[in-house]
Amino acid sequence: NTVAVIGLGYIGLPTAAILASHGQKVIGVDVNPVHVDAVNAGQVPFVEPELETHVAGAVSLGMLSAQAETPKVGTYIIAVPTPFTEGHQADLSYIDAATDAIIPHLEGGELVILESTSPPGATEHLAARIIAARPELTVDQESETNVDVAHCPERVLPGQVMVELVTNDRIVGGLTRRAAERAKALYQTFCTADIFLTDATTAEMAKLTENSFRDVNIAFANELSVIAERLGIDVFELIELANKHPRVNILQPGPGVGGHCIAVDPWFIVSAAPEEARLIRTARNVNDDKPGYVISKVKEALGDAEAPVVAALGLAFKPDIDDMRESPALNITAQLADELPDASILAVEPNVEALPGKLANRRNIALTPLEEAIERADVVALLVDHREFKALDRSLLDGKAVVDTRGTWR
Ligand code: SAJ
């Protein structure tokens, strides 16, 4: 029984590789030829520790291959992106396209798993799409000719994916009990933790709830940072002390929330229940307002210096990675360059060799080595707590105005 994994990105490729290295024959499917060619060469087109070892091993054993066309197999896992539109609605077009590519191959008896993070109702939507195209099939009965449909959201942390795929508990939501049981049996081939069964909508909401919990908690920390500034106290000390309470566990403030998960998923809950999701919406707005606040602090620190120089430390969305998706550090740096046309913005990002496309065409931004940027800067803005910044010789900061959004140099 071969498994087709549709979407060879940050989640699909690790899932394909771990299944294949646990004895499952896997065909990876991707519309992007760069991903297909990389996988067939045993390589990984992005940074994720340990992943390449799994991919290379599985490809050389003939257990994993990649192609552009969706094949006819017994089990499908859909792991394509679910971005949101301008109006904060979930964009299901990638899921629809993947489903449409599967539909002609179905004859009953298959298992279709939606792994992409999805708004409530997406799994039922997928099933309805199958039935609309193929009314002779069923998805809601436990029979020989039934197509079993389940939602199994991933919950792995970028940077630790290969470990967390094995050790994290999982939630599986089936449109039927049998669909959930079959999906559980597949994930049990590599996952050593508990796998809990529920219905599809609860599974969808569980994933969104986890990321919203984190977003709300970070918003609380970000709001505290602005309050502390107004009161003239150190927010990092404040949180450290409050967290000494046995039932308090506040997260850390920063320049905003980035990545493609925590800054996105809460909107799926808001758009599903706009009247009710008041706290979740407000938290999103609090976190989205934080980059603007940081920009105002940098401008304040510059005063009316002529031809000012700003060192912007970090572009990634979190420490020690090269991922810049939805990164507040990247957006702050771009916006500083736009709003301060006479300033030189010295961007420091130890994890990349060139400025990303979004910054590359601005004449007043230059990718600069750390010590040179600090030496030349009037204001140093610490946007990401990369290990190189934590290790900085603090005496280099003497006489500089510092906006330390992460509390790294307290
Ligand atoms: N952040 C803070 N303060 C904190 C913690 C995080 O400002 O105290 C910021 C980070 O700097 C970053 C953003 O939040 O900009 C998100 O980073 P993260 O490390 O919290 O999470 P992600 O986006 O890398 O991964 C999350 C994880 N979800 C949870 O921890 C609940 C991961 O388990 C999910 O699998 C992943 O989202 C996903 O794919 O949904």
What tens digit of pLDDT does each residue of 326-378 get? 999 999 999 999 999 999 999 999 999 999 999 998 999 999 999 999 999 99
Q: Which atom of ligand 1 is nearest to the CA of 251?
A: 8
Confidence category of residue 199, pLDDT binned at 50, 70, 90: very high
Averaged pLDDT, 139-155: 93
Alpha carbon distance 164, 158 (integer Å): 9
Q: What's the rounded Cα separation, in Å, for the pair 396 and 402? A: 11
pLDDT of residue 45: 86
Residue 359: partners with Cβ closer than 8 Å, 6 or more residues away: 315, 330, 333, 334, 337, 347, 365
Q: Which of 47, 205, 262 to mutate to test the pocket of ligand 1 (most atoms within 8 A of CB)?
A: 262
> Could you identify the residue written with the tokens 């679910």?
82
Distance of CA 284 from the midpoint of ligand 1 (Å): 14
Query: One fold for both 3-193 and 211-404?
Result: yes
Confidence (pLDDT) at 361 = 86
Question: If you measure from the C-alpha of residue 214 to the centroid of ligand 1, how many angstroms do you get, rounded to a whole number?
Answer: 7
Q: 359: which 2 tokens?
A: 């910054």
Q: What is the mean pLDDT of the chain?
A: 96
Residue 85 has pLDDT above 90, yes or no: no
> Is residue 159 predicted with pLDDT exceeding 90?
no
Tell me the per-residue pLDDT of 296-314, one tens digit each, with 9 for 90 and over.
Answer: 999 999 998 889 999 999 9
For ligand 1, atom 29: residue with the closest CA:
211
Among all residues, which ones are annotated catalytic? 207, 261
In this structure, the residue with its CA closest to atom 38 of ligand 1 is 261
- Rounded to whole angstroms, the Cα distance separating 95 from 318 reads 28
206 lines ligand 1 (CB under 6 A): no
pLDDT at 131: 97
163: Cβ below 6 Å to ligand 1?
A: no
Span 5-57, pLDDT tens digits: 999 999 999 999 999 999 999 999 999 999 999 999 999 988 888 999 999 99
Q: Residue 263's pLDDT is what?
A: 94
Ligand 1 geometric centre to CA of 213 (Å): 10
Under 8 Å CB-to-CB from 278, ≥6 apart: which residues?
A: none
Q: What percent of the chain has pLDDT over 90?
A: 92
> Residue 312 — φ and ψ, nearest 5°?
-105, 110
| CA nearest to 14, candidates 154, 140, 198, 124 | 154
Is 211 near ligand 1, meaning CB less than 6 Å away?
yes
Which atom of ligand 1 is found nearest the CA of 256? 7
Q: Which residue, judged by its Cα, is nearest atom 11 of ligand 1? A: 318
CATH code of the region 3-193: 3.40.50.720
Using the atom order of ligand 1, give the atom closest to the CA of residue 328: 15
Which is more confident, 142 or 255?
Answer: 255
CB-ligand 1 contact for 258 (6 Å cutoff): yes
Ligand 1 atom closest to the CA of 155, numbered from 1 = 35
Q: Which CATH superfamily is domain 211-404 in?
A: NAD(P)-binding Rossmann-like Domain (3.40.50.720)
Segments making up each domain of the chain, as ranges: 3-193, 211-404
Mutational test site, ligand 1, from 286, 318, 322, 385, max ligand atoms within 8 Å of CB: 318
